[in-house]
A and B are shown apart, each in its own frame.
Chain A
Amino acid sequence: MRSSMANFAKPSLPRFSVDVYQNEYLPEGGSEVNAIVTVTATGGGTIGSAVSAPVYTAGHRPSAAVAVMVDCSGSMDYPPTKMRNARDATAAAIDTLRDGTHFAVIGGTHVAKEVYPGGGRLAVADATTREQAKQALRRLSAGGGTAIGTWLRLADRLLSAADVTIRHGILLTDGRNEHESPDDLRAALDACAGRFTCDARGVGTDWEVKEVTGIASALLGTADIVADPAGLAADFTRMMETAMGKEVADVALRVWTPVGTAIRFVKQVAPSMEDLTARRAEAGPRAGDYPTGSWGDESRDYHLCVTVPPAGLGREMLAARVSLVMPEPGGGAGSVQNLGAQGLVRAVWTDDMVASTSISPQVAHYTGQAELAQAIQQGLDLRKAGDFDGATAKLGRAVQLASASGNADTAKLLAKVVDVVDAATGTVRLKTRVAEADEMTLETRSTKTVRVKK
């Protein structure tokens, strides 16, 4: 059920391990192979993210550069507390920077402006630059439109100037991306993808959920809502702590499959759903790389589904080999370093029906979590479109799935949008009045998953 392999790549790199959970037994003629691949990175000096003050060993930490993009559009002054809270949150994030980290603050409207340090440079964090940066924040004022693509392109220019391991952005918006076309944003995201990672936050309730989640998805970061501006400082501090905990960047999941095999999908399924299938970059014969961004001490799960040519009873084949690669430090374009750990996804044809009909608990769990995310999205879309029967059915199914899988956070969010009559059967009624913040929170967090109960 489980195989594990791990290797130290280099003493300074975290140790990656790959575990494969699957039922490899197929009936005669069976061709679809599913597996959950758990990738865990440990070591490298960080301690758990639950601890608020990470301990960093001087000289051991990877170099990092961070750009904070703060929405300064006119709406940030309505109410005025929004701009003030954004300023305070950025200051808190700057306080969380460890010494030696390169950083910049960008003020975003329909154009992007360097707030600190300016001159197309990055500052290097120490007591002096932190204080200077906070002084500069006081000059931030609201006024203008919103063109997020321009913010991202400036962040990319600044971050790429630094010779560092980790490049990360934090983006805050309160409104819709109204002053450029969706294509402009798409083009900016395509240009930045793989160059830096970025967390995106929407403050208040006047922003577009799909824009914010789309930015985080493209740039392999997290997305969330901060409905109450007062919560911004704590959220920014957490995001920066996580960024400071990253140890390696540009890690890709390399999937090798034998000849005649088709990859149906590759999804990250924990901590959140992210379909990576279309983001494959070919990597030699029958192998492709799927981007996973930067890693600290953390564990993520991936669902791999492949179809293989059926073989005879008693035959066994390797359906996929999963490994991890990152760009070779100092290497040329395309040269990668294998991080050592690998997992084998197998197919074994058997006439033992008990074996071939059982479903791996991990595969079943994440298949359910994927359906949960989809049911929430569809339910909310139908509700917006006025199809209340359809919305009730989808959200009822979501309640049922969240309840059965123990996804308590999502269950709580659902309960703010529907009245749950019976969670086990998915019987719900749409609430007549739903706070906009609650609906947006549910939509933004619909892709959050829980891991399988061990």
Chain B
Amino acid sequence: MSQMPQQAALPKCPSCAEPVESGDLFCGACGQDLSVVPAPPQDHPTLAMTGPAAPEDGVDWPAPEPAASGTPEGVHLPTDLPGTDSGDTPLPGHRPGSEQSAGSGVRFDRAPEPDEYPLQAPDPRLAAGAAAPAEPAQVCVACRAGRVDKDGYCENCGHAQPRERDHVEREAGPVAAVSDRGLRHHRNEDAFAVGHTALPDGSPVAMAIVCDGVSSATRPDDASLAASRVAGDTLLAALPRGTHPQQAMHEAIVAAAQAVNALAEEPATAREHAPHQNAPACTIVGAVVTSGLLVVGWVGDSRAYWVPTDRGAPSARLTEDDSWAAQMVAAGLMSEAEAYADERAHAITGWLGADAYELEPHTASFKPDRPGAVVVCTDGLWNYAETAEEMSEIVPPDAVARPLHSARVLVGHALDGGGHDNVTVAVLPFPAPSQGAGSA
């Protein structure tokens, strides 16, 4: 969203946004059970409601490599940032500043807040896991009196009802993701795709794509949905054919960009009434994990983090934002503190969309020497856990074993912090575990 200062976040009901008092068990306006995360609509055809079925058992996790085995030759430690892009050249964030095109194309997508967000322990309430069953769709969640019309509004009080994208959870093999509207935005403009398949040699591979619609553009929700779907489909088609994961990631981002570009030619949907019309746009970040390789790719300021299971080992941020602040810092023009204090800090300088100046997909490849979790997320999460260390503190210790639970915990962390933006988190275990008896 834009660059306006905001009031301190009041706790609000995740269902109807009514302010709630700390200690309230139910929302006074809509009756939402405040002890659980917002429930996804029951009739969502694509949701995997697998709350209680966290893959804690029934999966054969490969034993972590003994730490004593040392680092084999050629292994790229995740802490050895920078990685390389698909052309084996250094990542853009580490190029000389002269190559940065700061100011060539800048979008403002969010407020400069948060200034400070105290880290909180994972919310134990979320450990309950099981989402509450959604209310019958016919009764308004806001006034509890009216029926809901076919346009999704209450026939009594007119309030829009929760939509299927307000809260989405999905699990695909070893990878899981959760997306939530947050507490301040009227719709969820984030989207994700998760999936898994096998490489030609039969070894497992899992992927996650996360996209964040640019709010200042038209139809950001359509852009993120199209980009995440196309990128996910591209990866799941290319990986079994033996395309190198890093090359596949590059192709997936290019395909996603084309899908978003194509939206600019379509008429707006009936519900779209944006005050400023311009080409739909979104960010993208993705990760692919195999038995030995971790590949990330991105455009924009959505991020991927590496959080090793052994928290004694360092965690790392795997992506470099396409943002004004990151460019200023990379170019040596400002210190990190100065850059992020500037009101332009969060303006993004790279995105998918027809009015992007030049598409520059970044990809990087890593060979972690130990098991861990890859967290792929939008700024709706990392605003509340910016550094790798902060992220590793909020990722549950059993993230590798319970990715869906972990994604829920991380989303809950953002909501507890104020939920100022849409928040989307995907969690992938590394190495990609074989899919038990069912896998090749």
Binding site for B on A (CB under 8 A): 1-5, 20, 22-25, 257-261, 308, 311-319, 344, 346, 348-355, 358, 360
- Distance in angstroms from A21 CB to nearest chain B CB is 8
Interface residue ranges of B106-164 to A (CB < 8 Å): 111, 143, 146, 151, 153-160
Task: Enumerate 28 A-B pairs (CB-CB under 8 Å) in ascending A order.
Answer: A1-B273, A1-B277, A2-B268, A2-B273, A23-B275, A24-B273, A258-B157, A258-B159, A259-B146, A259-B158, A313-B184, A314-B17, A314-B181, A315-B16, A315-B160, A315-B186, A316-B186, A317-B159, A318-B154, A319-B158, A346-B273, A348-B186, A351-B111, A351-B184, A353-B4, A354-B2, A354-B275, A355-B2
Q: From known contacts A3-B270, A312-B19, A313-B17, infer whether A318 and B160 are also in contact, taking CB-CB under 8 Å.
A: yes
Q: State whether B156 touches A259 (Cβ < 8 A).
A: yes
- Distance in angstroms from B244 CB to nearest chain A CB is 42
Q: State whether B158 touches A261 (Cβ < 8 A).
A: yes
Q: State whether B159 touches A315 (Cβ < 8 A).
A: yes
Q: State whether A344 touches B183 (Cβ < 8 A).
A: no
Q: State whether B277 touches A3 (Cβ < 8 A).
A: no
Q: State whether B151 touches A312 (Cβ < 8 A).
A: no
| Residues of A contacting B4 in the complex (Cβ-Cβ under 8 angstroms) | 351-353
| Residues of A contacting B183 in the complex (Cβ-Cβ under 8 angstroms) | 314
Q: State whether B158 touches A258 (Cβ < 8 A).
A: yes
Q: State whether A312 touches B6 (Cβ < 8 A).
A: no
Per-position 1/0 for B166-206, Cβ under 8 A of A: 00000000000000011111110000000000000000000
Could you tell me the distance between the alpha carbons of A319 and B160 in the complex, rounded to whole angstroms?
A: 10
- Distance in angstroms from B2 CB to nearest chain A CB is 5
| Residues of A contacting B270 in the complex (Cβ-Cβ under 8 angstroms) | 3-5
| Residues of A contacting B184 in the complex (Cβ-Cβ under 8 angstroms) | 313-314, 351
Q: From known contacts A314-B17, A316-B159, infer whether A258 and B273 are also in contact, taking CB-CB under 8 Å.
A: no
B323 interface hit (Cβ, 8 Å): no
- Distance in angstroms from A384 CB to nearest chain B CB is 43
Apart from A23-B273, A259-B158, A351-B184, what are 18 other A-B pairs with CB-CB below 8 Å? A1-B274, A3-B270, A3-B271, A24-B273, A258-B156, A259-B157, A260-B157, A314-B182, A315-B160, A316-B159, A316-B186, A316-B187, A317-B160, A318-B153, A344-B151, A348-B186, A352-B2, A355-B276
- Distance in angstroms from B322 CB to nearest chain A CB is 22
B344 interface hit (Cβ, 8 Å): no
Those 9 A-B pairs whose CB atoms lie nearest each other, nearest first: A258-B158, A318-B153, A316-B160, A312-B17, A318-B158, A317-B158, A358-B275, A316-B186, A317-B159
Could you tell me the distance between the alpha carbons of A346 and B187 in the complex, rounded to whole angstroms?
A: 14
B91 interface hit (Cβ, 8 Å): no
| Residues of B contacting A4 in the complex (Cβ-Cβ under 8 angstroms) | 270
Binding site for A on B (CB under 8 A): 1-2, 4, 6, 12, 16-19, 111, 143, 146, 151, 153-160, 181-187, 215-216, 268, 270-277
| Residues of B contacting A22 in the complex (Cβ-Cβ under 8 angstroms) | 273
Select from chain A the residue with minimum beta-carbon distance to B218.
A1
| Residues of A contacting B12 in the complex (Cβ-Cβ under 8 angstroms) | 312
- Distance in angstroms from B419 CB to nearest chain A CB is 9
| Residues of B contacting A358 in the complex (Cβ-Cβ under 8 angstroms) | 275-276
| Residues of B contacting A353 in the complex (Cβ-Cβ under 8 angstroms) | 2, 4
Select from chain B the residue with minimum beta-carbon distance to A358.
B275
| Residues of A contacting B159 in the complex (Cβ-Cβ under 8 angstroms) | 258, 311, 315-318
| Residues of B contacting A258 in the complex (Cβ-Cβ under 8 angstroms) | 153-159
Q: State whether A259 touches B143 (Cβ < 8 A).
A: yes
Could you tell me the distance between the alpha carbons of A390 and B415 in the complex, rounded to whole angstroms?
A: 59
Q: State whether A317 touches B153 (Cβ < 8 A).
A: yes
- Distance in angstroms from B207 CB to nearest chain A CB is 31
Could you tell me the distance between the alpha carbons of A385 and B403 in the complex, rounded to whole angstroms?
A: 81
Select from chain B the residue with minimum beta-carbon distance to A354.
B2
Select from chain A the residue with minimum beta-carbon distance to B187.
A316
- Distance in angstroms from A262 CB to nearest chain B CB is 13
| Residues of A contacting B215 in the complex (Cβ-Cβ under 8 angstroms) | 352
| Residues of A contacting B160 in the complex (Cβ-Cβ under 8 angstroms) | 315-318
Could you tell me the distance between the alpha carbons of A355 and B276 in the complex, rounded to whole angstroms?
A: 8
- Distance in angstroms from B46 CB to nearest chain A CB is 23
Among B6, B158, B181, B185, which residue has its beta carbon within 8 angstroms of that of A257? B158
- Distance in angstroms from A313 CB to nearest chain B CB is 5
| Residues of B contacting A316 in the complex (Cβ-Cβ under 8 angstroms) | 159-160, 186-187
Q: From known contacts A316-B159, A317-B153, infer whether A351 and B6 are also in contact, taking CB-CB under 8 Å.
A: yes
Could you tell me the distance between the alpha carbons of A258 and B12 in the complex, rounded to whole angstroms?
A: 23
| Residues of B contacting A354 in the complex (Cβ-Cβ under 8 angstroms) | 2, 216, 275-276
Select from chain A the residue with minimum beta-carbon distance to B145.
A259
| Residues of A contacting B156 in the complex (Cβ-Cβ under 8 angstroms) | 258-259
- Distance in angstroms from A23 CB to nearest chain B CB is 5
Could you tell me the distance between the alpha carbons of A313 and B273 in the complex, rounded to whole angstroms?
A: 18
| Residues of A contacting B157 in the complex (Cβ-Cβ under 8 angstroms) | 258-260, 317
Residue among B16, B155, B182, B187 with most chain A CB within 10 A? B155
Could you tell me the distance between the alpha carbons of A308 and B19 in the complex, rounded to whole angstroms?
A: 19
Residue among B158, B181, B215 with most chain A CB within 10 A? B158
| Residues of B contacting A352 in the complex (Cβ-Cβ under 8 angstroms) | 1-2, 4, 215
Among A259, A313, A351, A355, which residue has its beta carbon within 8 angstroms of that of B275? A355
| Residues of B contacting A257 in the complex (Cβ-Cβ under 8 angstroms) | 158
- Distance in angstroms from A352 CB to nearest chain B CB is 5
| Residues of B contacting A317 in the complex (Cβ-Cβ under 8 angstroms) | 153-154, 157-160
Could you tell me the distance between the alpha carbons of A22 and B274 in the complex, rounded to whole angstroms?
A: 9
- Distance in angstroms from A256 CB to nearest chain B CB is 8
| Residues of A contacting B153 in the complex (Cβ-Cβ under 8 angstroms) | 258, 317-318, 344
| Residues of B contacting A5 in the complex (Cβ-Cβ under 8 angstroms) | 270
- Distance in angstroms from A356 CB to nearest chain B CB is 9
| Residues of B contacting A348 in the complex (Cβ-Cβ under 8 angstroms) | 186
- Distance in angstroms from A346 CB to nearest chain B CB is 7
| Residues of B contacting A351 in the complex (Cβ-Cβ under 8 angstroms) | 1, 4, 6, 111, 184
Select from chain A the residue with minimum beta-carbon distance to B18.
A312
- Distance in angstroms from A329 CB to nearest chain B CB is 26
Q: From known contacts A308-B158, A351-B1, infer whether A315 and B17 are also in contact, taking CB-CB under 8 Å.
A: yes
| Residues of A contacting B277 in the complex (Cβ-Cβ under 8 angstroms) | 1
Could you tell me the distance between the alpha carbons of A314 and B272 in the complex, rounded to whole angstroms?
A: 16
Select from chain B the residue with minimum beta-carbon distance to A1.
B273
- Distance in angstroms from A64 CB to nearest chain B CB is 36
- Distance in angstroms from A259 CB to nearest chain B CB is 5
Could you tell me the distance between the alpha carbons of A257 and B157 in the complex, rounded to whole angstroms?
A: 8
Q: State whether B186 touches A314 (Cβ < 8 A).
A: yes
- Distance in angstroms from B270 CB to nearest chain A CB is 5
| Residues of A contacting B216 in the complex (Cβ-Cβ under 8 angstroms) | 354
| Residues of A contacting B146 in the complex (Cβ-Cβ under 8 angstroms) | 259
| Residues of A contacting B158 in the complex (Cβ-Cβ under 8 angstroms) | 257-259, 261, 308, 317-319
Could you tell me the distance between the alpha carbons of A2 and B270 in the complex, rounded to whole angstroms?
A: 8
Q: From known contacts A1-B273, A3-B273, A318-B160, infer whether A311 and B17 are also in contact, taking CB-CB under 8 Å.
A: yes
| Residues of A contacting B6 in the complex (Cβ-Cβ under 8 angstroms) | 351
Could you tell me the distance between the alpha carbons of A317 and B182 in the complex, rounded to whole angstroms?
A: 17
| Residues of B contacting A25 in the complex (Cβ-Cβ under 8 angstroms) | 275
- Distance in angstroms from B36 CB to nearest chain A CB is 20
- Distance in angstroms from A160 CB to nearest chain B CB is 37
| Residues of A contacting B185 in the complex (Cβ-Cβ under 8 angstroms) | 314, 350
- Distance in angstroms from A17 CB to nearest chain B CB is 12
| Residues of A contacting B2 in the complex (Cβ-Cβ under 8 angstroms) | 352-355
- Distance in angstroms from B165 CB to nearest chain A CB is 13
Among A20, A261, A349, A360, which residue has its beta carbon within 8 angstroms of that of B186? A349
Select from chain B the residue with minimum beta-carbon distance to A309.
B157
| Residues of A contacting B143 in the complex (Cβ-Cβ under 8 angstroms) | 259
Could you tell me the distance between the alpha carbons of A425 and B187 in the complex, rounded to whole angstroms?
A: 44
Could you tell me the distance between the alpha carbons of A348 and B1 in the complex, rounded to whole angstroms?
A: 14
| Residues of A contacting B181 in the complex (Cβ-Cβ under 8 angstroms) | 314
